[in-house]
Amino acid sequence: MADLDPTPTTPVDLRSDTVTRPTPGMRAEMAAAEVGDDVYGEDPTVNALEAEVAALFGHEAALFAPTGSMANQIAIQLLVPPGDELLCDADAHVVTYEVGAAAAYGGVSSRTWSPAGADVDPEQVASMIRPDGYHAVPTRAIAVEQTHNRGGGGVLPLGTLRELRRIADEAGVALHCDGARIWHAHVADGVPLASYGELFDTLSVCLSKGLGAPAGSVVVGSAERIERARVIRKRMGGGMRQAGVLAAAGRYALRSHIDRLAFDHVRAARLADALAPFGVLAGPVRTNIVPLDLTKCGFDAPALGVAARERGVLVSVLGPRIARLVTHYDLDDAGVDRAVEVLTEIFRR
Ligand SMILES: *Cc1c(COP(=O)(O)O)cnc(C)c1O
């Protein structure tokens, strides 16, 4: 066979923290997992994962779901009846990257506020809430994202979340957290997961992003809501059978991969420091996402994507002038060095 690539180089993949592959230790636990039929509630590993995640967030119950999108959509359907309204920001994953699922599956009407990075103005949210009635669309739930994906991995302060909780209680609406990367917020701000948990009616948390499991998210809530969530999950086609193989990866990740997220944050900060002189940072870097806005330097994001790829560095292109770098488990210091070398060279041109 011809030697097609005598010096194969693994690309430095900064597109997303979803690109991680299970580690040998994780694979060993997956292989050894005790399993059963989870639609019958008989998979001991899934049941253990659900109990552990519920306890972490101080809630009664939790439900394993195949993806973060399904976990969010299960929660939205729990909180908002068809025709009624969900409030969130216009950049929120639930209205940007879930292909219209709230409308398509839940008949849910979504109304958005203008995003300001990861920040939320509780007073603005309060002013949007519409009361019950037969004329206006009644607001049933507010969703926020922690950390905020399109908001550059920004962290919502506990004080803002408490204020939102007060507003939600006053108006009688529910509060959902899209916590796909809530682990990163916990590590960055040192806020216990249970302190986040107590502020929300439902949370969805992701095992396959920074935590490095191959698949899976978890919906967290009251026992009554999670009982109903089980029905919604099955209706959406998310009832899995011997899912303990996946749940085992999640349990391993919860034990071993939360604290190490601090390394991802340090590496993201290193990337940000190296790129700051070029005026390409879209905002401060708090966690594992480095948001780039190339407007000022007049650079075209797709051109950056191509130029970086040619030199073995993969970045996410999110718009004509917007790109993103994400650090994760499969990226080491040598990868960061390489990315800094390639990207600074491109921006210097
Ligand atoms: C990745 C992500 C999700 C879930 O995405 P899936 O690909 O469906 O697992 C949800 N919310 C946010 C903020 C995310 O970044």
Give the CATH number, domain containing residue 294.
Answer: 3.90.1150.10
Check pocket membership of 141 for ligand 1, CB cut-off 6 A.
no
Check pocket membership of 71 for ligand 1, CB cut-off 6 A.
no
Q: How many CA atoms within 13 Å lie on the side-chain side of 337? A: 3
Omega before 9 cis (within 30°)? no
**Running along the chain, 349 residues long, what does each successive block of 10 average in pLDDT?**
48 96 97 98 98 98 98 98 97 96 97 92 97 92 97 97 98 98 98 98 98 98 98 98 98 98 98 97 97 92 97 96 96 97 94
- Spatial distance between the Cα atoms of 250 and 67, rounded to a whole number of angstroms: 12
Looking at residue 9, its pLDDT comes to 64
Expressed in angstroms and rounded, the spacing between residue 348 Cα and the centre of ligand 1 is 34
Would you say 293 and 282 are in contact if contact means Cβ atoms under 8 Å apart? yes
- Position 83, amino acid: G
How many separate domains does the chain show?
Answer: 2
Q: HEC profile for 130-197?
A: CCCCCCCCCEEEEEEECCECCCCCECCCHHHHHHHHHHHHHHCCEEEEEECCHHHHHHHHCCCHHHHH
The answer to whether position 3 is within a domain reads no
**Domain shared by 264 and 198, yes or no:** no
For 161, the token pair is: 């979340």
**Domain shared by 110 and 206, yes or no:** yes
Would you say 22 and 249 are in contact if contact means Cβ atoms under 8 Å apart? yes
Give the CATH number, domain containing residue 248.
Answer: 3.40.640.10
For 64, the token pair is: 């394993």
**Domain shared by 208 and 287, yes or no:** no
**Domain shared by 51 and 129, yes or no:** yes
- Closest C-alpha to ligand 1, atom 3: 68
Domain that holds residue 128: 33-256
Would you say 75 and 92 are in contact if contact means Cβ atoms under 8 Å apart? no
Check pocket membership of 145 for ligand 1, CB cut-off 6 A.
yes
